Structure formats: C-alpha cells, structure tokens
Structure 1
Amino acid sequence: MEVDQLRYFLRVAERGNFTRAAEELLISQPALSRSIQKLEEELGQPVFERKTRSVALTEAGKLLQSRAQQVLTLIADTKAEISDDGQSGQIRVGAIPTIAPFFLPDLLRQFSTEFPKASLIVQEDTTDHLLKRCTQGEIDLAIIALPVPAKYLEVEELFEEELLLVLPPDHPLVDKPHIRLNDIKSYPFVLLDEAHCLSDNIVSFCRQRSFHPVAVEQTSQLAMVQELVSLSHGISMIPQMARRLDKTDRRVYRSISGNSPTRKIAAVWNPYRFQSRLLLEFRKRLHEYSQIQCSLK
C-alpha cells in the first residue's frame, strides 16, 4: 500500500467522482482507476460502490478513509517537525472570499519580507469547506467570520468590524443626516448568495430587529454586489475592510445609526496538528496585524 494510493483514494472519496478527482490530481483517469483497483485487490474487497456518474464509499471504504487521513496527517506532521527551522517551510492559509482580497495582501507581503524562505499558499473558499480542510490538515489556518460551526478546532477572535450601508449616489437616503434601520426596510437588497456567511450576518442582524431584507439579486462576488448597487439595483451592506479599498465615487457608504451591524473575524486551526515555529510566527504576525485593523476606520 503506497502513500500516493491513499492520497488518490481520499481525493476520489471527497469528490465522489473519478473524473473530477483525476483532474485535480493531474493524472489520467485510467491511471487513477488502476491505482484504486490495485488498492482494492490488496484489501480483498471494494472501497467504492460504482454508480453511473459517481461513486460512494463502502463500509470498508469508510474505515479506510478514516485511517488514510490519519496516516497522511502523521506523515505530513513528521516531515514538518523534522525540517522545522523557524524560517523556511510552507504555510497554507485559507480565507473566505469576503476577507481574502481585502485583508491578506499586505499581511502576506510583510510576512514574506520578514521570512523570505517561507512559502505562503492562499486558498479562498466558503466557511464550511475551509473548516473541513482545516480539520483534515489540508490547510494550516483559516481566517473566517464567526460563528464557527465546528468542533475540535481552536478559535482566536481577531477583531470586529462594522458592516456599512452602501448606496448609489442618487439614492434618497444619501442626504439623510442619520440613517436608521427603519429607513432601509422598504428598499430591495443585493446580497451574496447563500454559500457566503456575510449574507447570513446581514439577514441575522435584520431579523433580530424584526426586519427581513428582501433580496432582489444575489451574486457570488462582493465586487459584483458593489457594482449592482452602483447601477441602482438595490442597496447592501459591505465590510469595512472592503470599503477602505473602494476609491470610486460611484457608491456612497454610510453607517447605520444606533446599534450598527458588525461581524467578528477569527483565525481557526487544528490544535491536534503539528504547529511549526514558522506557523506560530505567522499567527503572531496575524494577531499584530489584526490589532492595526481594529484602529482603522
């Protein structure tokens, strides 16, 4: 039984499809199929139940999945611990799309300058996928918005930021001295689709105040939300970090008076995985950088 066989098996199990797994592993589908077949021959029973366009784990496959994850984790941690010099190595950072492009670039540049031998890999994904990857050891740390629906992960709250109301320049609320929640109830919203937790933050804030925002359009990118607002398709709420990078005059940002909506940003990692000295240094810089973000408006 070879390490690559276990790695290939886990990718097929995760994707539920040989074609997609082969594409991601950068090998041919016949080569992947042969590898899994040799694994099944060695075990003496099938690990996948083949269907027309997908596969499902058999009972033997479920057991192998658990053990294979443990084996690969142990190998990766052993290699990392042996080669840990505090200066070189790879750090895999995950972040949700409403954080990654607005928060990470300066932090990554600063860290790369201080640790030029380090390799930083950034993966952008939804909260659920990042938590799963963090649990399984596919990434070392994830930066997400609270709450965190996962057990056995360490969570450090980094900072809290305001969600700002964004309006087209000709919107009737632009000239209003103080905008309250009641003022926006009758206006349609442009929101991210349901895969993004920012929409949950916004809807939850409104619901707690007996108001459910009506979304006329949903999109998968925050930049598109901003553009649709500029085109008067609706209004929305945008994180402070995204507003700071928006230099256009085609949108107007305002705070909501009273109890303004906010979101809490946190770092998440698996405490049962080996924590290299380089990763600990990154976490330290992340904490320091986050304190700076707290002071920015």
Structure 2
Amino acid sequence: MSLLKMRILVLLEKLKKVTAVADELGMKQPTISFHMRKLEEEWGVPLFEMKTGKVMLTTSGKLLHHYAEQIDRIYNEAQSRFHERKQSGRHTYVIGSIDAASAILLQGSWFKRIAEITDMQFSFTTASSGDLFDSLLAGSIDLVLSGGLPASPLLHHELVLESSLSLYIPDQHPLSQSPGVPSYRLAGSPFIQVNEPSLQAAIKQWENSERITLQTDWHTDRVELALSAVRSGLCLAILPSNLNSFQLDGIQVIPLPGQNQVWQLYACWRSDYWNPPLLQRILQLLHNKKTDNPTLF
C-alpha cells in the first residue's frame, strides 16, 4: 500500500474517470491503471468495475475508500501544517469561532495571556458553527468556539462560558430613562437580530416565557454591526451581557426583564488532537477569561 494508491482510490470515487484522475495527478493514464491493478492484487478482491464508461467502486472498494479517504485527509493535513512551519519556523494554532464568541472571549488581555504560554503563531477565523465543525473535522482548525454542540462523535466539547442576556438600548431612547422596562413595552420596538442560531434560540425561549413576539426589522451576522445599529438610535438588541465596555459608547445595557435567560458557549476539538497539554492550557485561559468581566457567572 502507498499514499499515492490511496489518493488514486479517493479520486476515482470522486471523478469516476481514469483520464480525469491522471490529469488531476499530472500522470499518464496507463500509470493510473497500473496502480489500480496493484491495489486489487494487494487486497485480494475486486475494487473497481466499469459501468456506462465510468469507474465505480465495488462493495470492497467502498469499504477501502472509507479508510483511504481518512488517510488522504490526514496526510494533506500534515503537509499543510508542515508547510506553515517551514514558512515561519513555528507551528500555527488556528481558532475558529462564531462572531458572538469572538466579540466576548477573544478580546483584550486574553491575547496577552495566550502569547505568554507558547511561541506558536495564532490564526483566528469566524464562520457559522456548521462550517467551523467541518473545518475542525478536516483538520484545518484546532479549536472551535461555538454556541451549538457538534454532532460528530469524533469531536469533544467543554462548556467555557454561561452568560445572561441583556437589553441594549441607545442612550437617548425613552426606555433608557425607565428604572425597569416591562416586557410588553418591548413588543412594539424595532430590534436588530444577530443571526447566530444558539443566541436566537435563547431569545426565543425568553419570548415564549414572557408571551411576547419581538419586532425584528434588522438582521446581521456581526455583533459589532448590531451595536452600531443600536448606537444610531434605530433599534434595540438583545445580546449576551458581557460585551467589552469599549464597544458600548452611546449604549445602555440593562437586565432583560422577566425570566433570566442564559446563553452558553462551548469549546470544541477533535478527540485525536495531537497536543493535549497545549489544548488544556488554552482551555484554561478561556475559562479564566470569565474573571475579566463581572457580568459573567
């Protein structure tokens, strides 16, 4: 068995043509056919069959493809990581997060703390939870911060933050002058919604408990843009209570009326992560981030 043969098997399942696989690998068609025969000799069973001019995998071929795909993915992951190390002389640790998580956890002193524990390079990216989990499984991300839990048994998770929800109001809004805002007074006010499913699920639970429906006139995938819209006086927002104070000029943050609602944030990683001690140190820093803001609990 060789990595090349595993790569050929993966590409045959994807492209269905020997010529297409040869073009993809920059090889000649007879070379691909030779490796196909060798694969069948090595495993002692038919792996390929021709149907309507396409190369199809037999049942045995599909079984081997399951493992070949993992071998090919892991090898590509290793190539990518070592290329980064050759370019910079250091490994790169990649953290992916939903935008709401980066607005809360990846701020201020946290960067200084993480720089003190390792000489690795760090890369940060934001996306939806689904895309982040796909990247985590593919090996292109080391750690994901998400409001939702991964479905794959290959991914582990740990709760790193619980935050109550608060009402974000422009300074000059009439409701900002009220000592306590009853829920029913919010029903007619325009709101901006941050399109994060876990956050919206928590808000919906609050709406149901208060028996109201908010009027959502604005949508965004960024917490920063939601705060800008609130600051303009056009709308209100319901967000986690612990956004950093430097983002809140012109905005008042008051407790959400009625039943207290909690939003949770999880750190997720692959169960076979190659450096468990480093992972635990970073998780500890994420837990320690809670002490930076008294509104966390």
CA distance 1:278–1:149, shift in 2 (3 Å): closer
Deviates more, 1:272-281 or 1:125-134: 272-281
Which digits, 9 at most, give the CA deviation of each residue in 1:183-234, with x for residues without a partner? 31222211123x6543333234323443332211112322221222223322
**Residues 1-297 of structure 1: matches in 2 within 5 Å?**
34-35=23-24, 38=27, 41=32, 64=65, 67-73=68-74, 76=77, 89-105=91-107, 106-115=109-118, 117-145=119-147, 147-152=148-153, 153-193=155-195, 197-249=198-250, 251-290=251-290, 292-293=291-292, 295-296=294-295
Amino acid at match of 1:224: L
Amino acid at match of 1:213: L
Q: Give the distance between the partners of 2:187 and 2:72, measured in 1 at CA.
A: 54
CA distance 1:34–1:214, shift in 2 (3 Å): farther
Count residues in correspondence.
254
Check the 8 A contact 2:114/2:282 in 1, yes or no. Answer: yes
Runs of 4+ in 1 over 4 A off after TM superposition: 36-46, 58-66, 74-80
Q: Give the distance between the partners of 1:141 and 1:171, measured in 2 at CA.
A: 40
Shift of 1:75: 7.2
Q: Give the distance between the partners of 1:202 and 1:179, measured in 2 at CA.
A: 16
Shift of 1:65: 7.4
Deviates more, 1:123-132 or 1:276-285: 276-285
CA distance 1:123–1:70, shift in 2 (3 Å): farther
Which digits, 9 at most, give the CA deviation of each residue in 1:20-64, with x for residues without a partner? xxxxxxxxxxxx993267599457689xxxxxxxxxxx8799875
Amino acid at match of 1:126: S
Q: Give the distance between the partners of 2:190 and 2:80, measured in 1 at CA.
A: 53
Q: Give the distance between the partners of 1:62 and 1:167, measured in 2 at CA.
A: 57
Q: Secondary structure at the match of 1:227?
A: helix
Q: Give the distance between the partners of 1:213 and 1:67, measured in 2 at CA.
A: 51
Computed over aligned residues only, the root mean square deviation of the Cα atoms, in angstroms, reads 3.9
Q: Give the distance between the partners of 2:289 and 2:171, measured in 1 at CA.
A: 33
State the match for 2:45 in structure 1: none
Q: Which runs of 5+ in 2 are unaligned?
A: 15-20, 37-47, 50-55, 82-89
Q: Give the distance between the partners of 1:225 and 1:79, measured in 2 at CA.
A: 36
Indicate the percent of aligned positions where both proteins have the same amino acid.
16
CA distance 1:37–1:183, shift in 2 (3 Å): farther
Q: Which runs of 5+ in 1 are unaligned?
A: 14-31, 47-57, 81-87
Q: Give the distance between the partners of 1:169 and 1:59, measured in 2 at CA.
A: 65
TM-score for the superposition, normalised by structure 1: 0.69
CA distance 1:234–1:256, shift in 2 (3 Å): same
CA distance 1:38–1:239, shift in 2 (3 Å): farther
Larger Rg: 2
Check the 8 A contact 2:192/2:229 in 1, yes or no. Answer: yes
TM-score for the superposition, normalised by structure 2: 0.69
Larger RCO, structure (CA 8 Å, separation 6 or more): 1
Amino acid at match of 2:266: A
Q: Give the distance between the partners of 1:275 and 1:252, measured in 2 at CA.
A: 43
CA distance 1:260–1:76, shift in 2 (3 Å): same
Q: Give the distance between the partners of 1:33 and 1:210, measured in 2 at CA.
A: 63
Q: Give the distance between the partners of 1:184 and 1:295, measured in 2 at CA.
A: 26
Check the 8 A contact 2:194/2:222 in 1, yes or no. Answer: yes
Amino acid at match of 2:94: R
Check the 8 A contact 1:180/1:256 in 2, yes or no. Answer: no
Q: Secondary structure at the match of 1:245?
A: helix
